[in-house]
Chains A and B, each alone.
Chain A
């Protein structure tokens, strides 16, 4: 699969460095699942991190540090009773990707189903004509939220701007706006200067995974009518 729209290098670097919040990490991971070239970029960044690690001036380790660690090596790995079930792709590779609560999304890539299976999903809620959303319980920075947005084929989403940033990965279907066509795996990275009015392609509904900081601001008449109902 060759994708047209990728996360910015700044976002990929933050992913590799581990400085993204989990919500945006999840969106980037959904893109990486479909994008070999960004997987290569992240590995290049990790190689860079390794070189920077090798070159850093060493700090002093407290006396006896090695002995304490050696003493731990034979102890069984401590797993707190409340630890979440490990959801490494290696563990799930042989299981059918039922995707848990995401199973009702038709045409979901198995890798996307596995990613979403690690999270609690809320019920679908009506946003506006042809548009639904459901909460994803991934932690975010304060003022952020992660959700799935589902729009019926042919829907024109209200013209909107953002009060913060929005990172979107298409999971199924496709939409278009002035920056092009966004199909499964494509990422749309918008900030508060982007003003757009996406149109879902005819034929198939479009489901997106969205990590948003701030809120949507709807423009135009339809938007002003809808705004009181829309809690996004």
Chain B
């Protein structure tokens, strides 16, 4: 019987659940991860325009991938949510080209020259996600909307311009302002 670990504020520590899968193939930990993430991955993919059936299939595939790749999860680089987001994103991308594209995204994960000391990662992850959420919440609504659409709508920025009926240059400048703000607030996180 696995212990579903919780941090002091009662929030489930999803990072530790993934590590429980990696170290002891803990099925209870997997079930807890599935309960939280499968419905969210499905919802996320549906908001990106994926049909419900396929979104369900990809959500299941995402969690199976979490099981298989749990040993590769590095909580000092990204928390459970960001890691699972990236898995779901790669699965959504054209399945036929999936593995090649994963290699392209892996390019973003080349080791950095200056190693960062890794403090207690559970605290770091929770704090990191809180800070990203706070930074998003402090963006002006129009900038936050562009950031969200970049992820949820799964469409090119030209299409976002059409959707919102604003010029493409405005989409790009709002995104640039949002990213500048987030870099300033969160630059130490990555």
Contacts and interface: CB of A to CB of B under 8 A. Distances in A.
Contacts of B77: 43
Contact of A53 (B41, B64, B104): B41
B38 interface: yes
Contacts of A16: 89
A39 B108 contact: yes
Contacts of A95: none
Interface in A2-39: 8-10, 12-19, 22, 25-26, 28-29, 32-33, 36, 39
Contact of B39 (A9, A29, A60): A60
A111 B85 contact: no
A219 B53 CA distance: 50
Q: Which range holds the interface residue count of chain A? A: 35 or more
Contacts of B60: 65, 68-69, 72
B97 interface: yes
A22 B100 contact: yes
A202 interface: no
A55 interface: yes
B34 A69 contact: yes
B111 to A, nearest CB: 10
A10 B63 CA distance: 29
Contacts of B101: 18, 22, 25
A61 B154 contact: no
Given A19-B150, A84-B99, A44 B156 contact: no
A56 B44 contact: yes
A62 B107 CA distance: 35
A32 B107 contact: yes
A14 B108 CA distance: 14
Given A36-B113, A87-B100, A70 B85 contact: no
A84 B107 CA distance: 18
Contacts of B110: 32-33, 39, 89, 111
A29 B107 contact: yes
A73 B189 contact: no
Interface residues of B, number: 81
A48 B79 CA distance: 11
Contacts of B183: 41, 44
A58 B38 CA distance: 8
B29 to A, nearest CB: 12
Nearest to A48: B132
B152 interface: yes
Q: Choose among B47, B103, B172 the residue with the greatest number of A CB atoms under 10 Å from its CB.
A: B103
A22 B100 CA distance: 9
Contacts of A58: 39-40, 42-43
A54 interface: yes
A212 to B, nearest CB: 15
B78 A17 contact: no
Given A18-B90, A52-B151, 10 more contacts: A9-B176, A13-B150, A18-B101, A29-B108, A47-B129, A49-B82, A57-B43, A59-B55, A65-B60, A66-B34
Interface of A: 8-10, 12-19, 22, 25-26, 28-29, 32-33, 36, 39-44, 46-62, 65-66, 68-70, 72-73, 77, 83-84, 86-90, 111, 115, 118, 139
17 contacts: A14-B150, A17-B89, A25-B101, A44-B182, A44-B187, A47-B132, A47-B189, A47-B190, A49-B86, A50-B82, A53-B44, A57-B43, A58-B43, A60-B39, A86-B99, A86-B103, A89-B107
